[in-house]
Amino acid sequence: MPSSLIYFRNLDQQSGDARLRAQWQQLAAASNSSEAIYQTPAFADFLATCAAPQQRFHLYGAYTASHQPLGLIPLLHTGLATRVTRRWYQRQQLVLLGSSPLLPPEPALLDALHDFLLTEFPRVQALVYRALPNNHAIWLHLQQSSTLLPLALHGWRGCHSMTLPSSYAEYLNRLGSKRRYNLKRQQRQLAEAAGGALALQVIRDPADLAALEQGLQLCCPRARRLQLWDRNEMQALARLGLLLCFRIDAGTQCCGVVLGLQSGKVYHLFNILPAPAWQALSAGTSILQLALAYLCDAQGGHCQRVEFGYGQPAHSYQSSNAVSLRSQVLVLRDNPANRLYRLWHGARRALLQRLHRKADVR
């Protein structure tokens, strides 16, 4: 479709319309993005309540020249100057939530979208795809662009995900006998040391948050807790139906907590936080297994995939985990300053990689 036959419209004032929200929810549910949760109406409601002062949510629609809808583009405008910061200029970015718009990834449509956004937000320095796969149609198309400068900011890093089987018993069968034996042994040792059978508490509703907050106090130093969701954020996530966390106890002892969000059939696991007293007994592995058992069995197959995000898990789980390469991709305006920045960034990254290789050899 030629870009001249496409136009975009701001829908901020219509984002509460019931018909639009139903279409929006359907598009997010059908998205194959690993971060589709950030494209949902519920997450937009969360941002409306809890976004930082220098952030603002926007919703745009894409249409044909005959006014037929093509899809939606949820955005987060960051780096806005505020009275709190007392800075008149900050480096502004426009984050495409979910790491891909709710649109068909057609080249002409992508070109029209990128051109429109950089014109609509003239002070924005970069469009951002926070976790774009290296084989995604958007990245492949950006490589061919003659008007934009794509940059994989931190290189391509492994993101782990797990497709859940229909039952936890089936999941265990995939691991092999030795791994199953070790998991049972670790759980038994943890229960014996903590003084009771391991019990899972599911935390979804605002009424459950007191137990979660107490568990976090027992499992995390204060500095670490400040990096996690605060009370208002947890209340909002629970009220909007996004929160799904777990607390694992043995007797009167808290053994750990798991922090995550669920939207549709995907669970996003952010933190596994074992209590310090039980880390030597592989408490993190044990509490993760109880959470996986709940996701497989107690939800009746509703949850079909777990997203672990960037990073390397403590155990490779080759038989159950899939690894995809993703990166935070910046889409920069093509100008001399950004060309110089991209060259500098590439040279710096190459130097750091060389130094790391030398350190590994030593």
> Alpha-carbon dihedral of residues 296, 299, 304, 309, nearest 10 degrees?
-80
Q: Cα–Cα distances in Å, from 345 out to 131, 338, 350?
A: 19, 10, 9
Q: Cα–Cα distances in Å, from 87 out to 7, 52, 55, 90, 155?
A: 34, 15, 14, 7, 31
Q: Assess contact for 59 and 72: CB atoms under 8 A.
A: yes
pLDDT at residue 355 in the model: 77
Read off the tokens for 102.
Answer: 């709710």
Read off the tokens for 113.
Answer: 């979208």
Please give the Cα distance from 332 to 352 (Å, whole number): 23
Burial of residue 233, with CB atoms counted within 10 A of its CB: 0-12 exposed, 13-18 middle, 19 or more buried: middle
Please give the Cα distance from 190 to 198 (Å, whole number): 8
Phi-psi group of 155: left, alpha or beta (phi > 0 → left; psi -120 to 50 → alpha; rest → beta): left
pLDDT at residue 86 in the model: 44
pLDDT at residue 81 in the model: 64
Each residue's pLDDT tens digit in the chain (362 positions)? 565 689 999 999 999 999 999 999 999 999 989 899 999 999 999 999 999 899 999 999 999 999 999 999 999 999 876 554 444 345 899 999 999 999 998 999 999 999 999 999 999 989 999 999 999 999 999 999 989 999 999 899 998 899 999 899 999 998 889 999 999 999 999 999 998 999 999 999 999 999 999 999 999 988 999 899 999 999 999 999 999 999 999 988 999 999 999 998 999 999 999 999 988 899 999 999 999 999 999 876 688 999 998 876 555 555 577 889 999 999 999 999 889 988 998 888 888 777 777 766 66
Q: How many helices (H) and strands (E) does the chain have?
A: 11, 13
Read off the tokens for 139.
Answer: 């990245």
Buried b (16+ CB within 10 A) or exposed e, 205-229: eeebbebbbebbebbbeeeeeeeeb
